[in-house]
Structure 1
């Protein structure tokens, strides 16, 4: 059985989510449950650290894409850091790299434009 551990840290201007384990058909609903309340905010700003993610399938990718689109509709964004392995391959194969541009670190990903 796949396992996914999600940590949430509230920063002054964004939420930082850490993912560890597998993001797939069995675990994607756990991420949805964490993201849903964050995405109802005005201009939701979310950084997801995927460095400890060992696997991601299309279900997990769909959650990230949907969250990004929902955040954009509310004037915010979802950004990824630590992208590697299967998630990096999925983003390349599906040509979603433009939707999730690479950020080198948390400082770069959390540099939001001034309101």
Structure 2
């Protein structure tokens, strides 16, 4: 399995989190840590750019749901961009596509 690179770009209360690699049981704690830091630091909109995400299992999906719930409790949201492949299929099959706003362009995430 490939590792996961997590790159964060922040502008005010909005952050774009670019994922490159595999989001799985081994790498999901890294993403959870980064998202927890952003939420704790006042981000209310977090965009996950999944354009370079190669794989996502249930533990990765759970991290995304946890972050969405945490952001929702403080009036924010977690959005997904460039969703494709395994992540798209997992969201569609589980019915969790509805848990996230429609796919966005990370360059226009604040709107």
TM-score by length of 1: 0.88
Q: Which residue of 2 aligns with 1:82?
A: 82
| Equivalent residues in 2 for 1:1-115, closer than 5 Å | 1-42=1-42, 44-111=44-111
Query: Secondary structure of 2:64's partner?
Result: helix
Deviation at 1:42, TM superposition (A): 4.5
Which moved further from structure 2: 8-17 or 79-88?
8-17
Query: Secondary structure of 2:40's partner?
Result: coil
Contact 1:6/1:18, CA 8 A, preserved across alignment: yes
- Which structure dedicates a bigger proportion of its chain to helix? 2
Number of aligned residue pairs: give it: 111
Deviation at 1:11, TM superposition (A): 1.4
Contact 2:16/2:106, CA 8 A, preserved across alignment: no
Q: Which ranges in structure 1 are unaligned for 5 or more consecutive residues?
A: none
Query: Secondary structure of 2:20's partner?
Result: strand
Q: Which ranges in structure 2 are unaligned for 5 or more consecutive residues?
A: none
**What does the per-residue CA deviation read over 1:34-90, in whole Å, with 9 as the maximum and x for residues that have no partner?**
011111245621111001000000000000011000000011111000000000001
